[in-house]
């Protein structure tokens, strides 16, 4: 059994100045979408932005991440909690999985409660597609509050 997983994180370009605090905290705590690695060592091999709408860096960044050993690409939680949520996220996931043969997980840190409440009120994530996309980061209220 492989006890190490190498990951890359791609964030939304509108948050390009984000220091990654919640993402890195979630890696350390194995929270949010990283809870699937609770029995593994995680090595972050790259952290970059999508390049801005419509995601110009999505064509190239996964190749570099893969060369650095990435086995899984995480599309940051900011892509789903920002307003509006990334309209290209499903396309990004499909493209990376198809072209680069890398597993893609939508999400990094747990969805903070304040974003959960706002998007619930706006009915942002009511479709089956969105419910599936946010599932890895949609945790219980206590966890969401811890990431507010």
* Domain range enclosing 139: 4-146
Q: What is the pLDDT of residues 13-45, one digit of tens each?
A: 999 999 999 999 999 999 999 999 999 999 999
Q: What is the pLDDT of residues 124-138, one digit of tens each?
A: 999 999 999 999 999
The number of distinct structural domains making up the chain is 1
Tell me the CATH number at 96.
Answer: 3.40.50
Distance CA 73, CA 103 (A): 6
Q: What is the pTM of this model?
A: 0.95
Q: What is the pLDDT of residues 73-104, one digit of tens each?
A: 999 999 999 999 999 999 999 999 999 999 99
């Amino acid at each position: 059994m492989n006890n190490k997983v190498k990951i890359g994180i791609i964030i939304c370009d509108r948050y390009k100045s984000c220091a990654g605090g919640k993402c890195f905290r979630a890696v350390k705590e194995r929270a949010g979408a990283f809870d699937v690695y609770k029995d593994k060592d995680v090595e972050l091999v790259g952290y970059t932005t999508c390049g801005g709408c419509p995601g110009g860096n999505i064509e190239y960044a996964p190749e570099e991440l893969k060369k650095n050993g990435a086995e899984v690409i995480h599309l940051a939680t900011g892509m789903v909690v920002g307003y509006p949520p990334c309209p290209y996220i499903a396309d990004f996931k499909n493209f990376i999985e198809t072209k680069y043969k890398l597993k893609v997980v939508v999400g990094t840190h747990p969805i903070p409660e304040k974003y959960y409440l706002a998007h619930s009120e706006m009915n942002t994530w009511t479709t089956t597609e969105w419910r599936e996309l946010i599932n890895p980061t949609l945790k219980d209220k206590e966890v969401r509050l811890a990431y507010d």
